[in-house]
Amino acid sequence: MIKDEVLRALERNRGTRFSGAQLAQELGVSRAAVWKAIESLRAEGLAITSTPGGGYCLSAQDDSLTAAGVSALLQTEVLGRDLLVVPETGSTNTAIKQEYAAGRGEGFTLIAERQTAGRGRLGRSFCSPPGGGLYMSLLLRPRIPLERLNFITIAAAVAVCRAIETTAGFRPGIKWVNDVLMEGKKLCGILTEAAIEGETGAIDYVVLGIGVNLRLDREALPDEVRAVAGALADFTHAVPRRAALAAAILRELEQVYRMLNAGGTGAIVREYRALLCCLNQPVRVTSPAHSYEAVCRDVNELGNLIVERPDGSRETLSSGEISIRL
């Protein structure tokens, strides 16, 4: 569509002016078609300014979230190349499983402005108000054995930390297994869900959900969320645009995901270990069977957490939950 091509051109040159004639020539369309596309984009809420003789400019402060806007910033070969942005859905993970898994290929990405039934690990809800966060899910078809499925979550956590550092200018940490934190506040949650082939036990597909808080209206949050939630805006004045953060996450994830499919789990675990903020910290370990106090000591080559009990004995955790005692 001409509208999408116009938006891509403006996005690539965000903050600078393009004349209608320049856009028309670059895209091979008429100036009237450019004007019509600009008016349509403005009607969708994009902050496009114009001056007589000065051309069009997409504001550097505009935080609109569109498929064309994200696509213009993509530096990937596969992930996000098939991309859909919707105003609202119950859960992006659920939507992919129910509506898109059968007909879309590797790397399909669904982004929602708002989730009405966002989900986290262990059946928890994930608060997803409009405008303040990035809520996205990807359809993956990894070439890894089932026992290494947890590396999808590990790779995603590493990719999100990289993307936040490059777009927001600070380096967050990871609380095992999947929470991205800064100064004890949760910035991002990750949910990995897999469909398994019944006859072979192999992975059919994986849906990877990532939710990042860019800004938070704490008064609108439930009490139990308000105490632990954080946002990028709490730690930087240079909050990235959602489209830029989405493109950065997809770029970093593709790099780590490629390593994972090639068997390079060692390098991924080393980076993951360096980002863990819970190492040598007292924690409370919670599982369906019991809970106890311990100290985080390490992660092994499979990404499992090694904790030390008060009596000096060590236990390796492949699942469960830890809470850091600050």
- The two tokens of residue 121 are 């690990």
Q: How many domains does the chain have?
A: 3
* Residue tagged 């995901």 (tokens): 257
Same domain assignment for residues 14 and 79: no
Q: Which of 40, 58, 76 is the last residue of a domain?
A: 58
Same domain assignment for residues 94 and 174: yes
CATH code (residue 300): 2.30.30.100
Supply the DSSP string of 97-159, one letter for each residue: IIIITTT--TT-EEEES-BSS-B-GGG-B----SSSEEEEEEEE---S-GGGTHHHHHHHHHH
CATH code (residue 25): 1.10.10.10
pLDDT confidence band for 12 (50 / 70 / 90): confident
Same domain assignment for residues 46 and 183: no
Same domain assignment for residues 223 and 300: no
Read off the pLDDT of residues 96-136 as tens digits, 9 standing for 90 and up.
999 999 999 999 999 999 888 766 555 565 666 666 899 99
Read off the pLDDT of residues 201-232 as tens digits, 9 standing for 90 and up.
899 999 999 999 999 887 777 777 778 889 99
Contact partners, residue 136, CB within 8 Å, separation at least 6: 92, 109, 110, 111, 112, 209, 210, 211, 246, 249
- The two tokens of residue 261 are 């499919």
Same domain assignment for residues 23 and 6: yes
What is the reported pTM?
A: 0.89
Same domain assignment for residues 230 and 156: yes
Read off the pLDDT of residues 156-185 as tens digits, 9 standing for 90 and up.
999 999 999 999 999 999 999 889 999 999
Same domain assignment for residues 8 and 87: no
Distance CA 8, CA 14 (A): 10
The answer on pLDDT for 89 being more than 80 is yes
> Which range of residues forms the domain containing residue 314?
282-324
Same domain assignment for residues 208 and 297: no
